[in-house]
Amino acid sequence: MKKQKIVCFRSGGFTLVELLVVIAIISILTVISVAQFNTAKMKARDVQRKGDIDGVRKALNMYYTDHEMFPSADEINGYLAGGGEFVDSDGYVYIKEVPTEKTSGRNPYCYEVLLDARGNPNMYALYSELENENDGDYRKYDSVNGYSCTNGGVGRDYDYVIYSPNAGRNEFND
């Protein structure tokens, strides 16, 4: 008896099940990577906001060194809302381009001052909104309510604050 050879020919393609499994795996990886990318963008915007506020803080402290008081809230909030050059009456430039909030729908950075007995601004707080609620500085001093800053008569809520070196949360009604 002669043995017959059975030859199976398989086409060069993939089965439908194999294709569906590969598509499912690629879809899951795409969803995960897009979510991580959006989180990274959010964190990057918050780092930019903190850097902006820190730059303004340094300029305000230099101004204080020169004038023994801080600039008025109206003056600085005008810069924070619309940008521009922060310069004193003698023409000294403290910031060439004052940073502004670049994300639409967000509150502009806010500057608030307290006056001493002579009516001169001697303490300040700078405010910004953060997107990442897991950031260590998010509502650092008040984890429930956040902070409030009045800018041009409009009270706004913020999540991040920097106080002048001679001030703290107790001086401001946050």
pLDDT over 90 at 36, yes or no: no
Domain assignment present for 4? no
Domain assignment present for 140? yes
- Residues with Cβ within 8 Å of 123's Cβ and at least 6 positions away in sequence, in order, are 70, 113, 114, 163, 164, 166, 167, 171
pLDDT digits (tens, 9 = 90+) for 93-124: 999 988 888 888 888 888 888 887 788 888 89
Domain assignment present for 60? yes
pLDDT over 90 at 61, yes or no: yes
Domain assignment present for 38? no
Query: Which pLDDT value is given to residue 141?
Result: 74
pLDDT over 80 at 3, yes or no: no
Domain assignment present for 156? yes
Mean pLDDT of 34-61: 92
Query: Which pLDDT value is given to residue 151?
Result: 64
Mean pLDDT of 126-142: 86
Domain assignment present for 169? no
Question: How many folded domains does the chain comprise?
Answer: 1
Q: Which of 125, 164, 123, 124 is nearest to 142 (CA)?
A: 125
How would residue 66 be classed by pLDDT, with cut points 50, 70 and 90? very high
Print the domain residue range for 124.
49-163
Please tell me the pTM assigned to this model. 0.76
Domain assignment present for 80? yes
Mean pLDDT of 133-148: 81
Domain assignment present for 93? yes
